[in-house]
Chain A
Amino acid sequence: MKLSTLILPLLLLLATAVTEETYGQQRFPAPEFESGYEYPDVSTPEPRALSLEYGDVIVLMGFLLITSWVVIKKRSRRWILWMSVGALLYFGFWREGCICAVGSGQNMALSLSDPAYMVSYTVIAFFILPLIFSLSYGRVFCASACPLGVIQDLVIVKPVKVPVWVQKSLGMFPFVYLALALLYAATGTDFIICRYDPFVGIFRMGAEFHLIVLGISFLLIGMFVARPYCRFVCPYGALLKVTSMFSKRHLSITPNQCIQCKLCAGSCPFGAIDKPTPDKLVKEIKGRTGKFLLYAAIIPLLMLIGGFALSSSHVFLAKAHPDVYLAHLLIDEPEVMDDPDNLDVQTFLGSDRTMDELVESAEEIQASFYTGAWLTGGFIGLVAGFFLISQYIVRRRADYEPNRGDCYSCGRCIKYCPVQK
C-alpha cells in the first residue's frame, strides 16, 4: 500500500487543525532512505565580498584625489570629462548606482537614531569623504565622481540661462528634501532619496515605470536646463554646497590675473559664475544693514513657524510608516477587515500581533515624528532665513569668480579664459 494513500486522509485532518503557529513544524518525519540517497547541497552564494566594498572606497578616494589635482593644478576640462565618464561607468553602470554618497546620509541618520542599526565603515567613508574634499577643494565629487551628476553633465546640449531668482528659490528645495529624508530615515520609515533616485533605473537598465519616466525626463530637461537634479533636488548636494562655500581652495577660472574679458561669463551652464560687483551696489551696501539685521532677527521666528507647521502635520507625515498607516486604516475604516484583497490588513489579522500592540507601536512612531517634525521644520525655517539674509549680503568682487556654493568644478570655464599662466 502506498504511503500516499495513507497521507491523504491524514492531510485533510491536519489541514483542519492548521493554525498560524504550527507552520514549520515537523508533520512528517524525515524518511530513512534505503537506497543510499544523500541530501543534495543547497547553494547559498555569498554576497559581494567585503574587500570589494573597501575597494569601492579606494576607487572613490582615487576619483576625488585625481579630480582635486586636475581642478586645482592641472586645470583641464578634458581630464574632468574622462574622469566623469569613468565614474559613470564604474559607480553608475558597473556598481549599478549602489553604493552612492547621495543616499548615505540616511544610513548615518538611522544609525544615530536606531539602537539596533549599525552603519558600516564603507557607508561612513562614502558619506564623509566627499564632504571633506568639498571643504578642501570645492565640489570635486560633483564634477567627476558622482554617477548621478555626471550622467546629467554628459547630456548637456544647449543650456539655457535660468533666471537668478528662479535658480535661488528652487535651490532651497534640496535643503527641504534633505531635512525630510533625514526625518524619514531617522524614524526608520523609508529611505526616500534612494526610493526616488531617478537615475538608478537607468544604471540598472530596469525599474518601475514611473521611475524610468522620471529618469528620462530629468535627462531630457537636462539637455537644456543643465544638471536639474543636482541644482534643484539633490539633498546631498545641499551639504556639498554649504561645505564648498567655505572651502579652503577652489577652482579658479583664470590661472593668473583676471582681465575682465567676460569670455567665461557665458560658458557656465549652471549660472555659477559671479560677475564683478558693480560700484552702484557697493554704495548701496551700507543702506542695507538694517534689512539684514531685521531678517537675521526673525530667523528664530521662522524656525518656530517651520517647526510648528511641520509638527502639526506630523500625523500625516507619519502615515508613510506602515504601522501608523495600518493603525489609522483599521481605526478609521474598520470595514477593511472584511476585505479579503487587502493583503496588509489580512496579514495583520492573521498574525499573532494584537491591535493594542499595533496601536502602541504606531503611537511611538508618531511621537518620534512629532519631535522630528519640530527639528525638521526648524531646520527648514533656518534655511529660509539664511536665504532671505543672503539677498542682503553683497560681496565685493573685482573679478569674475565661480560661485563656490553652486560651482560643480566641471572646468568648462577654464577653456574660455584667454589668460596664460
Chain B
Amino acid sequence: MERKKTKSRREFINSSMRFGMVLALGGVGGLAFRKSTGDQWVWQVDPFKCSWCGRCATHCVLNPSAVKCVHAYELCGYCDLCGGYLIPGHSDRSTAAENQLCPTAAIERKFIEEPYYEYKINEDLCIGCAKCAEGCSAFGNGSLHLQIMHHICVNCNECAIARVCPSDAIKRVKGSDPYLMKGDFTADGGET
C-alpha cells in the first residue's frame, strides 16, 4: 500500500513536470517561430564598411579563406596604372612580381585596347587579404572588393572573421540574396 502510494506520487510529479516542460518548449518555440524566417542566413562582407584590415585572410576557419576579391567591372576605370594591381611608388614601370600588390599574383592583367587593361581575379589563388581592394579604393574607383564566396563558405553559426572584424563589416544576410556586390548594392544599404 505504502509502496503504491509512493509510486503514484512519483508518477504524478513526473507527468506534471513533463507537461510543464512541453508548455515551456512550446512557449519558447512559439515565440521564436513568431519571429522566424523561411529563409536561411549566410555571412557577407559589406564592401562599404570594409576597412581592408587583412583579417579575412587570417581568421577564416578555412585555409585559404572563403573570402575572395571580386571585381565590379562596370565600376572599373580599366587604368593602365592600377592602384589595386601595382605597388604605389614602384620604381620601374613594369608589371614584374615585385611591383605587384597581390601576394599570390591572383590578379590577371589583360590588354583590352589602348589605353585600357582588364584586371581579373583568379579565385583559386586569391586569399582575401584585401591588399588590392585597399589600393583600388585609395587610388581608383573601388571596383575591387571582398565578398564571401558561398560555394566555399561552410556557413559557421558565428563567423570567425565577423568576430574580429574591426569595422563590423561582416553581417548575416538572407540566403536568397547572398551577395553585397558593389554596383548592385549601395553604401546606404539599399539595392539599386
Which residues of A are in contact with B by a Cβ distance under 8 Å?
2-4, 7-8, 11, 14-15, 18, 23-31, 33-35, 37, 39-40, 42-48, 50, 53, 96, 98-99, 103, 106-108, 111-112, 117-122, 124, 127-128, 131-132, 135, 190-191, 194-195, 204, 206-208, 242-243, 245-248, 322, 343-344, 346-348, 350-351, 395-396
The answer to whether residues A396 and B157 also contact, given A35-B113, A47-B150 and a CB cut-off of 8 A, is no
Given A39-B74, A132-B25, A347-B51, do A120 and B41 touch, yes or no (CB 8 Å)?
yes
Query: How many Å from the CB of A338 to the closest CB on chain B?
Result: 17
Task: Return the contact of A248 from the options B18, B138, B175 (Cβ within 8 A).
Answer: B18
**8 residue pairs bridging A and B, Cβ less than 8 Å apart:** A2-B114, A31-B78, A40-B120, A120-B40, A204-B61, A206-B61, A206-B62, A243-B21
Q: Nearest A residue to B153 by beta-carbon distance?
A: A47
- Shortest C-beta distance, A351 to chain B (Å), equals 6
Enumerate the 5 nearest inter-chain pairs by beta-carbon distance, A residue then B residue, closest first. Answer: A28-B77, A347-B166, A191-B158, A4-B80, A45-B151
Tell whether, in the assembled complex, residue B77 and residue A31 are in contact, meaning their CB atoms are under 8 Å apart.
Answer: yes
Contact B138 A40 (CB under 8 A): no
- 1-36 of chain B: CB within 8 A of chain A: 3, 6, 10, 14-15, 17-18, 21-22, 25, 28-29, 31-33, 35-36
Give the interface of B toward A (CB within 8 A). 3, 6, 10, 14-15, 17-18, 21-22, 25, 28-29, 31-33, 35-42, 47-48, 51, 53, 55, 61-63, 70-81, 83, 88, 112-116, 118, 120, 123, 137-142, 147, 149-151, 153-158, 160, 163, 166-168, 172, 175-176, 178-179, 181-182, 187
CA distance A208 to B163 in the complex (A): 15
Cβ A50 vs Cβ B175 within 8 A: yes
A387 to chain B: closest CB distance in Å? 17
Q: Given A26-B75, A37-B113, A111-B32: A2 and B25 within 8 A (CB)?
A: no
B80 pairs with A119, CB closer than 8 A: no
Contacts of A112 in B (CB 8 A): 28, 31-32, 35
**Chain B nearest CB: distance from A320 CB in Å?**
10
Residue contact A96 to B154, C-beta cutoff 8 Å: yes
**B35 to A118, Cβ gap below 8 A?**
yes
Contact A50 B39 (CB under 8 A): yes
Residues of the A chain whose Cβ atoms lie less than 8 Å from the Cβ of B33: 121, 124
Question: Which chain B residue lies CB-closest to A35?
Answer: B113
Query: In the complex, are the beta carbons of B178 and A343 less than 8 A apart?
Result: no
A345 nearest in chain B by CB position = B166
Task: Report how far A218 CA is from B155 CA in the complex, Å.
Answer: 25
Closest CB of chain A to B117's CB: distance in Å? 9
Inter-chain contact B32/A108, CB cutoff 8 Å: yes
Q: A27-B140, A33-B116, A45-B151 are in contact. List 5 more A-B contacts (CB 8 A).
A: A28-B140, A44-B181, A120-B39, A135-B25, A194-B157
Asked whether B48 lies within 8 Å of A24 as measured between CB atoms, the reply is: yes
Let me know if A347 and B17 touch, CB within 8 A: no
Closest to A192 in B: B158
Complex CA–CA separation, A208 to B60 (angstroms): 10
Instruction: Tell whether, in the assembled complex, residue B40 and residue A14 are in contact, meaning their CB atoms are under 8 Å apart.
Output: no
Specify which chain B residues have a CB less than 8 angstroms from the CB of A346 in the assembled complex. Answer: 166
Q: Distance (Å) between the CB of A239 and the closest chain B CB?
A: 9
Q: Which residue of B lies closest to A28 (CB)?
A: B77
A3 touches B154 (CB 8 A): no
**Smallest Cβ distance from A201 to chain B, in angstroms?**
8
- A47 with B35: in contact, given A25-B141, A248-B18 (CB under 8 Å)? no
* Alpha-carbon gap, A89 to B168, bound state (A): 35
Expressed in whole angstroms, the minimum distance between the Cβ of A20 and any Cβ of chain B is: 9
Query: Distance (Å) between the CB of B115 and the closest chain A CB?
Result: 4
Query: How far is B31's CA from A4's CA once the two chains are assembled, in angstroms?
Result: 61
How many angstroms from the CA of A117 to the CA of B41 in the assembled complex? 10
Residues of A within 8 A of B138 (CB): 15, 18, 23
The CA of A3 and the CA of B29, in the complex, are separated in Å by 63
Q: Knowing A3-B80, A246-B18, A351-B51, say if A396 contacts B6 (CB, 8 Å).
A: yes
A234 → chain B closest CB, angstroms: 16
| Bound-state Cα–Cα, A48 to B18, Å | 37
Q: Are A28 and B62 neighbours in the complex by a CB distance under 8 Å?
A: no
Q: Which of B28, B176, B182 has the most CB of A within 10 A?
A: B28
Q: Are B78 and A120 in contact (CB under 8 A)?
A: no
Residues in B neighbouring A47, C-beta threshold 8 A? 40, 42, 150-151, 153, 155, 175, 178
A247 touches B48 (CB 8 A): no
Q: Closest approach, in angstroms, between the C-beta of B56 and any C-beta of chain A?
A: 12
Flag if A119 contacts B32 (CB, 8 Å).
Answer: yes
A44 touching B25 by the CB < 8 A rule?
A: no
Complex Cα–Cα for A31 and B141 (A) = 12
Question: How many angstroms from the CA of A107 to the CA of B41 in the assembled complex?
Answer: 11
Give chain B nearest CB distance to A190 CB in angstroms.
7
